[in-house]
A and B are shown apart, each in its own frame.
Chain A
Amino acid sequence: MVERAKMATDDIPLDDKAKRMRDLLSSFYYPYHGSSPKAHSNYENLDSINSASFNPEHYMNLLVQKSNLEELLRKHVEMAAEIKNLDTDLQMLVYENYNKFISATDAIKWMKSNIVGMEANMEQLLDKIMSVQSRSDRVNTSLFEKREHIEKLHRTRNLLRKVQFIYDLPARLAKCVKSEAYADAVKFYIGAMPIFKAYGDSSFQDCKRASEDAIIIILKNLQGKLFSDSESIQARAEAAVLLKQLDFPVDSLQAKLLEKLEQSLGDLQLKTNEIENVLRESNDPSKQGKGFDSVPGIGHEVSVHGFAEAIRAYRVIFPDSESQLIKLAQNLVIKHFEMTGQRVKRRISSTNFLGALRAIWDDVLLMDGVLSEAALSNFSLEVAHATVKKYVASTFTYLLQDISDALLKVKVSPKEAAEEHPLQAALEASKKTVLQGSMDVLLDFRQLLDEKLGLLVKLRAFIIDWVQEGFQDFFRSLDGCFLLLSGRKNSSSQDQGFSEGALGEKVLAGLVLVLAQLSVFIEQTAIPRISEEIAASFSSGGARGHEHGHVFISGEICQLFKLGGEKLLHHYINIRTRRVSTLLRKRFTTPNWVKHKEPREVHMFVDLFLQELKAVDSEVKQILPEGLLRKHQRSDSNGSTNSSRSNALLDDKMSRSNTQKARSQLLETHLAKLFKQKIEIFTKVEYTQESVETTIVKLCLKSLQEYVRLQTFNRSGFQQIQLDIHFLRTLLKENIEAEEAIDFLLDEVIVAASERCLDPIPLEPPILDKLVQVKLSKSKEHNLVKPPDVGR
């Protein structure tokens, strides 16, 4: 080993020396780790001196073989020096260890000598500790009782304090009640609650009762507070919270409160009813200006404000009451609108309606602010939808009623001849009603549209539609109304139909004429103006657009009234001719014409006929405009083609007449003339005085002709007819602007009579003239005494 170390010292450079040393030493101290794997790897070679598998033989051989002498020598010197070093190191170590060993032995020796006295000291210490312990135990036991006592006393004191509190509770509660410090009172009471629960039945019975009494008072007061409207909401909310703390059945309370709210709602409605009354009064034109926004409105506002406040409060008080509140609020809105709806059923001006809507909308907004969950604005929009629609509809209904009222005035007072031109007045009145009424209605709706109210703005498109639709329907029903008024009865129930004839007679003929002219007016003036107006202000975007066809189509209405007017005009003519026809029928069916006596004077039926014509004349002059120049009209109705064709007919007739030798020449020419004019007999009726009058005369004369053709006359009968017609012709020429067709028809009556006469010998013209003169002077006398009966 030494040798090995020597060699190592020789071999390894100096700075490695210390490390090797330490390794070695440590391997010495820790034998198990002596050969570290590192050492192995480092010194694997057999020739490394420090490795465990060092083979001196091999090393020597290798060394001798490799090195020369000089090297060997140097190696030798190196080794020797290393060995020396190692030896001294070893010596040093041994010394050190030894020294340590000696000092340890010294210490042990010293300790041994010191320990001997210590045991006694320890004994002493133990004793002392024991005594201290016993003493403290004694003190403890002696003090224990007292301490116990003190603790008991303390507890009793606490109990006493509590008892005192409970005994004081009623008084304190009373005090609280007095000072209205309910919150404290409730706190106290709730604090005392467990005790009352435990001992309430025995020791503290009185106390409990007293404090319960107090609490009942508190409860009452709290409820009162809750219900009183004068209290602030916060106070009421607090009261509610306290009540809840007191286990008071809040739900029932809530129900009660809501009931109360509903009641107040009823009051509110009562109030609005009053408002409504005021409103109605303010409908009078004199008070119109004041309208809705004045005093009653404020009262209404206040009460709704109160309601809104209440809602807010209740929401604070009862967070779970929302749904009921929503219901209430919606009810309120519905009631409001119902009321408005009812009001709308009566007549109401648009300002009033707007006022009402505005008020409701204000209310809604107010409530919406408080109760946004209810979506009241949407809700009210829906309800308002219906109401506004109703309003539009009822406005039109009233307009219709106005018009029919204006028209019916004629019917009610036909006898009031004091008024000179009742029909004209009625026509003017109804014209005015139609136009002005429609304009007013439009103006009203304009107001609705112009209103900036949120509600109406949203409904704008609908309103436009409704207005257009409304006008369409209005004019349709107006047409129906006209038909009804005219007694045509077509639109009314069918089973009345059989009495139509009778009813038709009752309908004033003049009214029919008024209706006819009014239809023309509507077609030509009113509708264009209305459609213009509509186009100006109601055209912008209806909700449904035009393709639905519900909107106002002026063309269709115009057509309707055009046809209606024509129908009415014909109906008028029909009514008038029917009266004459009855007259004529009586005249011709009653006498035995074959045994007629010689004519002495003009028969009275001519007078009656003329009277009827006079009545027509007066009616027509009131209503219809004068026609254009007759000449012009004539050239209109009688075109050149017609006349040429009639000529052809005439020729045909003439040629055929040659074979009919029996016919007199006079008769033939009369017939020819008639055929020439035949086309003109029934021309299209126009809305002029002359056209209507001549049409009636022509129809009557045609009837006369037909009646004559059904009879057989003797000579006198024929002469009577001749006389009557002659007179009629004279008077017709005076009164009615004679149209040739009338002349020819008169001729034709005579021709018919002569054809139906067994012995057609006419009266001599002088005799005719004489008789006619007699009649004329007679009727003049008559007229002087009594003016002609124009009315009927």
Chain B
Amino acid sequence: MKYLERRVIHGILLLIGVSVLCFLFSDLAPGSFFDEMKLNPQISSETVAALRSQYGLDKPLPVRYARWVESVLGGEWGYSFAYNSSVRSLLVVRARNTLLLTTLATLFSWLVAVPLGVWISNHPGKWYDRLSMGGTSLLLSVPELVLVFGLLYFAIRTHALPVGGMTSVGFDQLGLWGKTIDLVTHLIVPVTTLVLASLPVLVRHVRASMVEVLKLPFIQAARGHGIGPARLLFRYALPAAGNPLISLFGLSVAGLLSGSLLVEVITGWPGIGPLLLEASMSRDLYVVVGAVMSSTLFMVFGSLLADVMLVVVDPRIRVE
């Protein structure tokens, strides 16, 4: 229990550190959201100054930080100048969309990577092992950008899939089944891109960990007892090969909120990615800080989850 408490405290300290750095860096960047208004001859400099003062941007950095902390504790997470609403209400909707995308992508990549990696690890050097290794090398070398453009090109040429966005026009008029189908068809391009991008790393990790474990004498001993291949691979070898994979799983959970930025922007998926990009471009300070903080929160949660899973799965960690 002490171990877990220590990890939670580490996580909180990390969150505080990231928020401080976020504020420091945003302060170092020149200009603010209201600077562009100065170029507009219809808005007087007094109005701009009044707006700056209204939103507290004329206050020194520590005061702004303290106000932001207060707002976080009050559940608002700061205020968006561009959207004229609290950052939390913006982030909640966007984070939900991003999570829908990335959770599905992570789920599918692991569902493919584990059985594939386990299977080929049991037959190293066979043609399907070489094919998988070649295929994953190729996928690893193709940038995410090319993958998503390739899939979008396919969607445009075949008209089989929608080209962008999350829903079609007239989504609200559809029934429950129609809505589901519409959402699923919109999900295919971004989810497939994310799966193809993360699959090679996962397959290679699963295979490498399994190949090492399958050489160990306890696996030989189990073979000598006449164990079936499925039981050998999934009951013996996979748990023993699990530790690095659990850490990797923690990382993939950590990346749930931040890993799909590029794909979201290109496919027009209304997630955190496009919001963060727009907010950075327009210097909507608190939205940027909010998006970075929620990604950090996931990072902390992901590594905490991996640590807890490791303790549960591997008795040795408790002993040590």
Question: Are A and B a genuine interacting pair, yes or no?
Answer: no
B residues near A (Cβ < 8 Å) are none
